[in-house]
Amino acid sequence: MEAFCLLLETHALQQAALSDQSSREPTDISEKERDLERMRKTMAQQLADFEMMKKALMRDLQGRCEKVVELEMSLDETREQYNNVLRASNNKGQQKKMAFLERNLEQLTNVQKQLVEQNGSLKKEVAIAERKLIARNERIQSLESLLGDAQEKLIHQNQKFEAQLQAVRDRLEQARTQKSNQPAMSAINFGRIAKPLRGGAAVNPESQQDDSKREKRSSWMPQFMNSSRQ
C-alpha cells in the first residue's frame, strides 16, 4: 500500500511539472536548466527508492515461495502418516490421532491456499512495478533530451549576444574615430566660410557638404537601435 501511494505521488509530481512547463514559457534559460536538473535528481532518488522496494518485494516473494514448498512437503508427510494410520488399525486412540491429523491437514491446506493467493498478488505487483519503472526511465530520457535542447538554445543565444555586442563595440569605436576627426575638419571648414553679401547670403558649397556629412554620422544611431531590437 505504501508503494502504491509513493507511485501516486510520483505521478502527481510528473503531471504538475508537465502542466507547469506547458502553461508558461520560461524567460530565463538558466532557470529552466536548474529546474530540469532538480527534477532529474528527484526522479533519480525516487528511482533508487523504487529499486529498494522492488528488491524487498522480491525477497519477500522468495521467502513465501520457500515457505509454500515447506508446507507442501509437510502436507505430503501428513498425508502419508494418515494413510499409514488408516492401514494400521481402527482403535479409538488411533481414531483420535487421525482426527487430529485431519484437522492439521485441513489447516495446512487453508494456509497453502492463502500463500498461493498472496504469491499471485505479489507477482502482479512486481509486474506493475516493472512497468512503472520502464515508464519512469522513458520520462527521465525525455527530460534529459529537453535539457540538451535547452543547453543548445542557451549556447545559440549567447553566440547571438556576443555578435551583437561586438557590433556595438565596432560602431562605438567608429563613432569615437569620427568624433576625434571632427575638430580638425571644423577648423578647416571655418576658414572657408564665405562672408555674407549685402542683399543676400552667400552659400558655400563646402559647408553644405560638411552639414550632409554630419547628418550621415548622426543617422547611424537610430539604425543601430533598430538592429539591436531585432
200: three-class secondary structure by DSSP: strand
Q: Assign residue 38 the CATH number of its domain.
A: 1.10.287
Is 190 domain-assigned?
A: no
Comparing CA positions, the residue from 202, 182, 184, 186 lying closest to residue 194 is 202
Residue located via cell numbers 488399525: 89
The pTM score is 0.32
pLDDT for 55-88, tens place per residue?
Answer: 888 888 888 888 888 888 888 888 888 777 777 6
Range with the poorest average pLDDT among 24-38, 40-54, 89-103, 168-182: 24-38
Within a domain: 216: no
CB atoms within 10 A of CB 39: 19
| CA–CA dist 154, 99 (Å, integer) | 82
- For residue range 20-36, list pLDDT tens digits in order: 555 554 456 777 778 88
**Is 167 a member of any domain?**
no
Q: Tell me, yes or no, whether 105 lies in a domain.
A: yes
Number of domains in the chain: 1
In a domain, 14, yes or no: no
Which domain, by its residues, includes 64? 29-154
The alpha carbons of the chain give a radius of gyration, in whole angstroms, of 44
Residue 97 lies in a domain: yes
Residue 48 corresponds to which cell in the numbers above?
533508487
177 belongs to a structural domain: no
Residue 108 lies in a domain: yes
- For residues 147 and 37, the answer to whether their CB atoms sit within 8 Å is yes
Question: What span, in angstroms and rounded, lies between the C-alpha atoms of 31 and 106?
Answer: 66
- pLDDT of 94 above 90: no
